[in-house]
Structure 1
Amino acid sequence: MSAFIRFLIAFFLLLMVIAVGTAGYTLIEHWPVSDSLYMTFITVTTVGFGEVHPLSEQGRHFTIILIVFSIATVGYSVTILFTYIFEGIILKAMREYRMKRSIKRMKDHYIICGCGDVGREVALEFKRTRVRFLIIDREPEKSELARDESILFVKGDAVDDEVLLEANIEQAKGLVSALPEDEANLFVVLTARQLNPRLTIVSQAEEQRTIRKLLKAGANRVISPSQIAGRRLASIILRPSVVNFLDVMVDGPSDSMRMEEVAVETGSPLVNKNLREAGIGRHTGAVIVGINGPDGKTKVNPSASSNLSTVPIRENDVLIAMGNEAQIQHLRNFVKHGR
């Protein structure tokens, strides 16, 4: 039972005691309602002002019963009231303190600016893939994600430098600007790029004319939700089997085949080996379908005389792999440790 429900129960119990006391004195002593109500209040609150009128024997018996019930009811109501008020305040303060402390310790995390429809979907995907992230929003309490205590929020305007610094942007790995206004996204991208030149920035854009401005401001990629939605609708109509296959690869359950990317970091034992020499498929069961280089170019089939298996793996390459969750995890360990 929630604290609010307990508060309502206590409130109605208190009203019931007052109503019963007033009705009892009115019926037993034949007093006016105002005198009965006054007598009930001084009895329930135990202030000891004395009787309004002399009580009959039945009235004294009724007063004894009323005092017993009122002490229990008032005691319960006061306890619930203080619990409802102070527990909410203390819990809120404690949660904010834990949130700020967790944010200060975050490194290589992702920042989502805006918790609208697009930002919410980004957050849910981040949570599903178990990456560290936080959300900046002006009114986080209005978001349905605010009920999830595992999600960190920074309350404020992402356009402000202080808010981005509070989100520990200098230690962040990436930022998604999902604000509804293109002008706000432009300011966020400009500010974020200045505060962290190494940051990977992805922004949404409502208008096509804003895309080029966002790229010049420092965004690595700019996404138009309406354009993507339109293309996907057309693809579902024209190529439903391909779309279904890609959905399974990207969003399928953990025991199904899916596509993931695995970074080749400095010191990996696979550096300067090609896929055939590394034996990735033999050791992990995962299938490498592409290699994305540091320049952003993806190698799939370099030429007619060679194939992907002969392409050497370089530092900071990203392997685009296909496999189930166990195979992908085995691949991550294999790329990092060679076993």
Structure 2
Amino acid sequence: MVRRLRSSKDEDSASEPQRQVLLPRPDVSPILQVVRRLLAAFAVLWITVLLVYLDRGGYVDDVDHHVSFLDCLYYTTVTLSTTGYGDIAPGSDSARLVNTLLITPLRVLFLIILIGTTLEALTDRTRQQWRLSRWRSALRDHTVVVGFGTKGRSATQTLLSTGLGRNQVVVIDSHTHVVKAANAEGFAGVEGDGTRSEVLVRAEVQRAKQIVIAPQRDDTSVLVTLTARQLNPRIKIVAAVREEENAPLLRQSGADAVITSASAAGRLLGLAMLSPYASTVMEDLIQQGTGLDLKERPVTKAEAGHAPRDCADLVVSVVRGHRILPFDDPEAAKLQLTDRVVVIHRASHTTPEPGERRGEFR
């Protein structure tokens, strides 16, 4: 049985980590950020100097009544820094118009660049909310991964090898450093307890296509499964448990598929002892994208009505309704168009040319 469930709803929520959605960001060096701001500030400075120099005839210098390029540079620096000594001032209407329409906005832009770090800190929350809003509006039929440990990370890599985009994966974990590690790999992350509905809602489980549940504890898997099924009755749930005795409970909770990690690893260990090469082949089969792949696909129109051995791929099983039929089962002697088949083929599999032997790998 499951060892421990959450005891009550009146737990001290203050002891839980802050729940938030973290989106991946481009990693920019602080030195590069400073250099960019300095270059932008110098660009604004020299644009303003050019504007003043081109209209230098409209400015008045109280010292020598002549505005040189150095005077333009001097005037620009004291103007952009809002010092304004007043010894050089726009005298003509055109110069004052240029100051109003161009130099004043440049002054504001210059100050914004100089205090960019402070302004960025003040506006970071607003920008984060805007990014979250845009992310939520675009998120549909995605995959949620609860628990980004060894099992969750391996499951994610397998999904990526089948063509799933990183922007279609949302990771949920209660540890901040794990969520940040997922961000570094390009995944959106939600920090919090996956057994709580508000955390799953932040990951948009109600609009997700599938969810991988791979926490460290079996009781957590059960609670996440129950909550996810309640929020989205149509979602596909694949869950992992350590103990085989907890697998039936997970299926009763709504999991479509349950993987027992401890017994699966034990079987591979036993197979490696009895037949080392067979265990190597098994490891190759469950590692998508390289060597041999184990894949489930629908029966094509050309295959309907034929025997499984007539298929181009090597058929292992036939899925008919909710039943799994071995390839040599009499009921699977003829494939139906509504069937699905579990096949073995190369990762770079292509359709055999006419005349090639069926079941062979190229």
Q: Please tell me the residue identity of whatever aligns with 1:4.
A: P
Equivalent-residue separation in structure 1 for 2:131 and 2:347 (angstroms): 33
Amino acid at match of 1:203: A
Distance 1:98 1:159, change over 3 A: same
Aligned counterpart for 1:311 among listed residues 334, 337, 345: 334
Mind listing any 5+ residue stretches in structure 1 that lack a counterpart?
10-44, 48-74, 331-339
RMSD: 3.9
Corresponding letter in the other structure for 1:301? D
Provide the rounded CA distance (Å) in 2 between the counterparts of 1:253 and 1:168.
Answer: 28
> For the residues of structure 1 that align with 2:137 and 2:210, how far apart are their CA atoms?
20
Deviation at 1:259, TM superposition (A): 2.3
- Structure ranking higher on relative contact order (CA contacts 8 Å, 6+ apart): 2
Question: Structure 2 matches for 1:3-18, cutoff 5 A?
Answer: 3-5=29-31
Asked whether the equivalents of residues 301 and 337 of structure 2 are also in contact (C-alpha less than 8 Å), the reply is: no
Is this contact kept in 2: 1:99–1:152, CA < 8 A?
no
Check if 1:234 corresponds to 2:257: no
Closer, same or farther: CA 79–140 of 1 in aligned 2, 3 Å: same
1:289 corresponds to 2:322: no
Residues 329 and 166 of structure 1, relative CA distance in 2, 3 Å threshold: farther
Are positions 1:220 and 2:256 aligned together?
yes
Q: Distance in 1 between matches of 2:262 and 2:308?
A: 41
For 1:198, the equivalent position in structure 2 comes to 234
- Is 1:153 the counterpart of 2:180? The answer is no
Q: Secondary structure of the residue that 2:297 maps to in structure 1? A: strand
Question: In structure 1, how many angstroms separate the alpha carbons of the residues matched to 2:177 and 2:224?
Answer: 22
CA distance in 2 between partners of 1:272 and 1:98 (Å)? 44
Q: Which residue of 1 aligns with 2:199?
A: 163
> How far has the Cα of 1:261 moved from its partner?
1.4
Relative to structure 1, the CA distance from residue 96 to residue 236 in structure 2 (aligned partners, 3 Å threshold; closer, same or farther) is farther
Contact kept, 8 Å, 2:136 with 2:204, in 1: the verdict is no
The one of 288, 295, 298 aligned to 2:325: 298
Q: State the shift of 1:242 in Å.
A: 0.6
Whether 1:136 and 2:158 are equivalent positions in the alignment is: no
Relative to structure 1, the CA distance from residue 238 to residue 98 in structure 2 (aligned partners, 3 Å threshold; closer, same or farther) is farther
Distance 1:204 1:253 in 2: 22
User: How has the CA–CA distance of structure 1 residues 117 and 84 changed in structure 2, closer, same or farther, with 3 Å as cutoff?
Assistant: farther
Report what 2:147 is aligned to: 114
| C-alpha contact (below 8 Å) 2:148/2:178 kept by paired residues | no
What residue identity is the alignment partner of 1:227? S
- The alignment covers a number of residue pairs equal to 252
8 Å CA contact retained: 1:99, 1:153: no
Name the one with the larger helix percent. Answer: 1
Deviations 1:303-328 (A, max 9, x none): 4xx9x6x322241x221222234436
Matches of residues 72-91 of structure 1 in structure 2 within 5 Å?
Answer: 81-82=117-118, 85=121
| Shift in alpha-carbon separation, 1:253–1:221, aligned structure 2, 3 A | closer
Identical pairs, percent: 21
Task: Report the TM-score, using the length of structure 1 for normalisation.
Answer: 0.60
Partner residue, 1:25: none
Residues 209-230 of structure 1, C-alpha deviation per residue, up to 9 Å, x if partnerless? 4333222222233323222222
- Residues 106-135 of structure 1: CA distance to partner in whole angstroms, max 9, x if unpaired? 12x332112222212211221222234322
